[in-house]
C-alpha cells in the first residue's frame, strides 16, 4: 500500500483503512471509510439478521459500493445464516484494501471481492438463475443510478437497502434537480427528511414496478446527513397495482403548517389552505405515501437486538423502539415548538400533547425524525386546539 493505513475495529470486525488522522475527512483519503456511519452499519446488520430469520433460510448479500469493504466484512463476520457476500469497488486502492481485509477474517471462504463499475458488476447478476437475496447500495450522494441494475439483479423476493446523502436535493433546496433524479419535487418543510425518504421510496417503487416487483418498506430512518430505507421487493404482477394506491402528493401550507395528503396522481391542487385560508401552499411529490416502517419487522428486530453483541446496544434498542412506536402513524410530523411560536404560546410537554390527543381518540407518537415533533392523524387546527386546551 503506498499510502498510510491503520488497523481499525468496528463491531467485532478488524480491518485496514486509510489512516484518517493523516487525511482529516474520509473524502480526502485514497479509499473510503467513514467511522461516523457505524450506526448505519449496525442498524443494517440487525435488519439483515431479522430478514434472514423471517425468510428462514441462508442468504447471499451483495455490497457493490463497498469502500474498504467494512459492510461486507461485518456481514460475514457478525451475522448468522449468511451463505456468501460479494463486495465490490471501482477504486483500485479500495479493492486492494478489501483483499487485505478479507485475509483478516476467520471465515474468508464465503466472501469475494471485485474491482468493477457497480452497474456492470450488478449486471452480471441479472442473468438466471438469480442468486442475490440482499443488495446494499451505499453510494456517495444519490443511489438512483444504481437502482435499475439492483432491481434486475435481485431474486424474486429480496431486500434492497438504500442510503442517500444528497440532502440538499431531497430536502427542497434543489426541487427541480430532485424531480429529475427522483421523479418527484422535494419541499423545504420542517419534515423534509421524511419527504426525502418518501421521494426515494417513490423512485424505487416506479423502477421496481417496471420490473414486476412491488415494494414493501420494512424500515426507514434519517440521521443528520443521510436517509436510509430497507425495502422488501416481491415479484408479483397481481399485487403491483396496490403500490400505486400509495403514491401521490403532499400539499403544505407555509402559514399555518397544515398539510393534506393526496393518494392519487390527478389532483386538483387546492388554491387556499382549508385550515387557515392562506394561499401559501406548495406541493411535494409525487412520492410514496404508504407505510415506511413495518411493525412486525421492527418487533422482530427488537428480539434480534436482545441476542446480538453490540457496543451501543441501549442506543440501538431505543432507536428501534422509536421506529416501532411510529410505525402505524400517518405521513408527516408536526414541530410543536414551531406551532407554539406561531400561536405565541409556550410549548407544553410533548407527552402531555400526545396523551391529550389519545384521550380525544387520535393516534399520536414521538418520532425519530425530530425530538420536538409528533406524528398524529389530528389536523393542524385540532393540534392547536389541543395545545391551547392544555394551557387553560
Ligand atoms: C459512500 S462510499 C461506500 C462506503 C461503504 N459502503 C461503507 O459502509 O463504508 C461509496 C463507494 O462507492 C465507490 N463508487 C462510487 N461510484 C462507483 C461506481 N460507479 N462503481 C463502483 N464503485 C463506485 C467509491 O469508490 C466509494 O468507495
Ligand atoms: Zn394554512
Tell me the pLDDT of the chain averaged across its residues: 96
pLDDT confidence band for 65 (50 / 70 / 90): very high
When pLDDT is averaged across residues 297-302 and rounded to a whole number, the result is: 98
Residue 157 has pLDDT above 80, yes or no: yes
pLDDT confidence band for 1 (50 / 70 / 90): confident
**The pLDDT value given to residue 265:** 77
**The pLDDT value given to residue 311:** 87
pLDDT of 237-271, one tens digit each? 888 999 999 999 999 999 999 999 999 777 787 88
When pLDDT is averaged across residues 62-79 and rounded to a whole number, the result is: 98
When pLDDT is averaged across residues 93-107 and rounded to a whole number, the result is: 97
C-alpha of residue 315 to centroid of ligand 1, in Å: 27
Q: Does 187 sit in the ligand 1 pocket, CB within 6 Å?
A: no
**The pLDDT value given to residue 80:** 96
Ligand 1 pocket test target in 35, 62, 65 with most atoms within 8 Å of CB:
65
Q: Does 144 sit in the ligand 1 pocket, CB within 6 Å?
A: no
SS3 string, 277-339, reads: CCCCEEEEEEEECCCCCCHHHHHHHHHHHHCCCCCCHHHHHHHHHHHHHCCCCCCCCEEHHHH
313-325 vs 38-55: helix crossing angle, rounded to 10:
60
**The pLDDT value given to residue 135:** 98
**The pLDDT value given to residue 244:** 93
**The pLDDT value given to residue 224:** 80
pLDDT of 9-61, one tens digit each? 999 999 999 999 999 899 999 999 999 999 999 999 999 999 999 999 999 99
Query: Distance (Å, rounded) from C-alpha 166 to C-alpha 203?
Result: 14
Residue that the C-alpha cell 428480539 belongs to: 303
Q: Which triple of cell numbers denotes residue 323? A: 421506529
- 30 contacts: CB under 8 Å, gap ≥ 6: 3, 18, 91, 93
From residue 376, alpha-carbon distances to 248, 321, 363, 379 in Å are 19, 17, 5, 8
Ligand 1 pocket test target in 38, 45, 139 with most atoms within 8 Å of CB:
139
Q: What is the CATH number of domain 5-288?
A: 3.40.50.150
**The pLDDT value given to residue 266:** 74
For the CA of 118, the nearest atom of ligand 1: 20
Residue 375 in contact with residue 367, Cβ under 8 Å? yes
Q: Does 33 sit in the ligand 1 pocket, CB within 6 Å?
A: yes
pTM tops 0.85, yes or no = yes
Ligand nearest to the CA of 162: 1
Residue 107 in contact with residue 79, Cβ under 8 Å? no
Nearest to residue 168, comparing CAs of 125, 225, 234? 225
The string over 194-231, giving b where at least 16 C-beta atoms fall within 10 Å of a residue's C-beta and e elsewhere, is bbbbbbbbbbbbbbbbeeebbbbbbbbbbbeebbbbbb
Ligand nearest to the CA of 17: 1
**The pLDDT value given to residue 268:** 81
Considering the segment(s) 334-392 as one domain, its CATH architecture is: 2-Layer Sandwich (3.30)
Q: Does 143 sit in the ligand 1 pocket, CB within 6 Å?
A: no
**The pLDDT value given to residue 270:** 84
Same fold, 5-288 and 334-392: no
Q: Does 138 sit in the ligand 1 pocket, CB within 6 Å?
A: yes
Query: Distance (Å, rounded) from C-alpha 244 to C-alpha 265?
Result: 9
Residue 114 in contact with residue 86, Cβ under 8 Å? yes
Residue 217 has pLDDT above 80, yes or no: yes
For the CA of 32, the nearest atom of ligand 1: 27
For the CA of 163, the nearest atom of ligand 1: 1
From residue 384, alpha-carbon distances to 350, 361, 369 in Å are 13, 16, 21
Ligand nearest to the CA of 257: 2
Backbone angles phi, psi at 292, to 5 degrees: -110, -5
Nearest to residue 201, comparing CAs of 272, 157, 143? 143
Report which of residues 2 and 184 the model is more confident about: 184
List strand residue ranges (DSSP E) for 89-212, in order: 111-114, 132-137, 154-164
C-alpha of residue 104 to centroid of ligand 2, in Å: 59
Q: Does 89 sit in the ligand 1 pocket, CB within 6 Å?
A: yes
C-alpha of residue 38 to centroid of ligand 1, in Å: 16
Residue 391 has pLDDT above 90, yes or no: no
**The pLDDT value given to residue 309:** 86
* Per-domain residue ranges of the chain: 5-288, 334-392
**The pLDDT value given to residue 181:** 98
DSSP symbols for 336-351: HHHHHHHTT-PPPPHH
Query: What percent of the chain stands above pLDDT 90?
Result: 93
Amino acid at each position: 500500500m503506498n499510502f498510510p493505513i491503520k488497523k481499525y475495529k468496528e463491531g467485532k470486525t478488524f480491518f485496514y483503512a486509510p489512516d484518517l488522522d493523516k487525511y482529516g475527512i474520509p473524502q480526502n483519503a485514497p479509499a473510503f471509510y467513514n467511522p461516523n456511519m457505524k450506526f448505519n452499519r449496525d442498524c443494517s446488520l440487525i435488519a439483515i439478521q431479522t430478514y434472514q430469520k423471517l425468510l428462514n433460510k441462508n442468504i447471499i448479500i451483495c455490497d457493490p459500493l463497498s469502500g474498504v469493504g467494512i459492510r461486507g466484512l461485518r456481514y460475514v463476520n457478525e451475522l448468522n445464516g449468511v451463505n456468501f457476500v460479494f463486495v465490490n469497488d471501482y477504486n483500485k486502492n479500495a479493492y486492494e484494501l478489501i483483499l487485505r481485509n478479507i485475509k483478516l477474517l476467520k471465515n474468508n471462504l464465503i466472501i469475494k471481492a471485485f474491482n468493477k463499475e457497480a452497474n456492470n458488476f450488478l449486471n452480471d447478476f441479472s442473468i438466471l438463475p438469480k442468486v442475490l437475496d440482499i443488495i446494499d447500495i451505499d453510494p456517495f450522494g444519490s443511489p438512483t443510478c444504481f437502482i435499475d441494475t439492483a432491481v434486475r439483479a435481485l431474486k424474486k423476493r429480496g431486500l434492497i437497502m438504500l442510503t442517500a446523502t444528497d440532502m440538499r436535493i431531497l430536502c427542497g433546496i434543489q426541487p427541480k434537480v430532485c424531480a429529475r433524479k427522483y421523479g418527484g419535487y422535494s419541499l423545504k418543510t420542517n419534515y423534509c427528511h421524511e419527504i426525502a425518504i418518501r421521494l426515494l421510496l417513490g423512485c424505487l417503487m416506479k423502477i421496481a414496478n417496471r420490473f414486476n416487483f412491488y415494494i414493501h418498506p420494512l424500515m426507514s430512518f434519517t440521521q443528520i446527513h443521510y436517509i436510509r430505507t430497507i425495502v422488501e421487493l416481491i415479484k408479483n404482477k397481481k399485487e403491483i397495482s396496490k403500490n400505486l394506491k400509495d403514491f401521490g402528493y403532499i400539499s403544505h401550507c407555509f402559514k399555518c403548517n397544515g398539510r393534506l395528503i393526496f393518494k392519487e396522481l390527478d389532483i386538483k391542487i387546492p388554491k387556499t389552505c382549508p385550515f387557515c385560508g392562506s394561499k401559501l401552499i406548495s406541493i411535494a411529490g409525487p412520492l410514496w405515501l404508504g407505510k415506511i416502517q413495518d411493525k412486525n419487522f421492527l418487533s422482530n428486530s427488537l428480539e434480534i437486538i436482545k441476542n446480538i453483541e453490540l457496543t451501543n446496544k441501549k442506543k440501538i434498542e431505543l432507536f428501534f423502539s422509536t421506529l416501532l412506536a411510529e410505525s402505524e402513524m400517518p405521513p408527516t410530523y408536526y414541530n410543536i415548538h414551531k406551532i407554539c411560536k406561531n400561536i405565541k404560546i409556550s410549548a407544553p410537554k410533548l407527552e402531555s400533547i400526545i396523551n391529550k390527543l389519545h384521550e380525544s381518540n387520535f393516534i399520536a407518537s414521538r418520532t425519530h425524525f425530530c425530538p420536538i415533533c409528533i406524528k398524529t392523524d389530528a389536523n393542524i387546527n385540532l393540534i392547536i386546539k389541543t395545545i391551547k386546551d392544555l394551557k387553560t
